[in-house]
Amino acid sequence: MTPMPSTLLRFSISLIMACLAYLPLQAQELDCQVSVIAPTINNVEASVFDQLETAITEFMNGRRWTTDEFLLTERVTCTMQITINKATSQTNFEGTIQVQSSRPVYNSDYNSPLLLVNDNDFDFTYSPGTLLQYSQDQFRDNLTSVLAFYSYLILAMDYDSFSLEGGTNLYSQAQTVVTNAQGLSSPPRGWSAADGKQSRYALIDNILSQTFRPLRRCYYEYHRQGLDNAFDDPTAARLSISDALIKLRNVHRIRPANYNLQTFFQAKKGEIVKMFGPAQEGERARLLPVLKLIDPGNIPVYDQGLG
């Protein structure tokens, strides 16, 4: 066989690389930054937590959570900060997990916060070098189940923000994670109604109920009909956002001080103040009493920014 001339070989390689450059790069859905800290733990080597951080990062970003095709630029930006407060052994840990996510706003370089939740019921087992494996059909361990639950929740909220109730299937996947955990004789904390109104069980049970449909509609109207149009018509965008927020009174009336509204406003309060602070007095006066009614925990924030 006659060898290909070097000039022709270089040309062929260049041509292939040029063609590949124009092909869309497919990617997993999440772009998750993970941090594991253990500031008070002295009985476990620090390298264990470094390995755990790497394992969780690979688990979150290396797994396909949907059947949809994502480009690298379309991945959902999120963070997880895990704080280890107690090590009952070399492999058993107790701590908290803070989960945040955001989505891009059309015609801007701004990312709007979607989720900010602090989960204090996070007990798990991890052995260094162990490959994290998850099955949607069964509860394998608490670590991967918690991670999968929040993966589906992050994606569901993102989908809801781009299409009306677009995240239904993903919320159902998160509910399946909860159901699998409840199949245990003694589920870890956070998976059952007995664990209180600020649990993973409460989050998903609420959002899939008819009562919380205004909140799901709010995710769409606030972001797709509001923020995404802010560049072209900021006044109309604010009107869509305020209308969406005002409709949340129906949720508050039936379930006052519920966990889902708390997590929504925990993520959104600063953004709302920035959006409506420069608005006309009439716009602010229309929205302020509603915010103070449905989000009483942040009344000082609204009074200072919108009063």
Query: What is the tens place of the pLDDT at every residue in 23-47?
Result: 445 578 999 999 999 999 999 999 9
What residues contact 285, with CB distance under 8 A and at least 6 apart? Answer: none
Task: Report the b/e string of 274-305 with b at 16+ CB within 10 A.
Answer: ebbeebeeebbebbbebbbebbeebeebbeeb
Integer CA distances (angstroms), 32 to 11, 69, 137, in order: 38, 17, 24
- The predicted pLDDT at position 21 comes to 42
What residues contact 111, with CB distance under 8 A and at least 6 apart? Answer: 77, 102, 103, 104, 105
- The predicted pLDDT at position 211 comes to 96
48 vs 126: CA distance, rounded Å: 9
89 vs 92: CA distance, rounded Å: 5
Q: Which of 200, 173, 174, 172 is nearest to 187 (CA)?
A: 200
Spans of the chain below 50 pLDDT: 1-2, 4, 6-24
- Measured in whole angstroms, the distance separating CA 185 from the mean position of its chain's CA atoms is 29
Structure tokens at 255: 């379930």
155 vs 259: CA distance, rounded Å: 19
Q: Give pTM, 2 decimals.
A: 0.90
- Give yes or no for a contact between 59 and 147, defined as CB atoms under 8 angstroms apart: yes
Integer CA distances (angstroms), 178 to 207, 234, 274, in order: 13, 40, 36
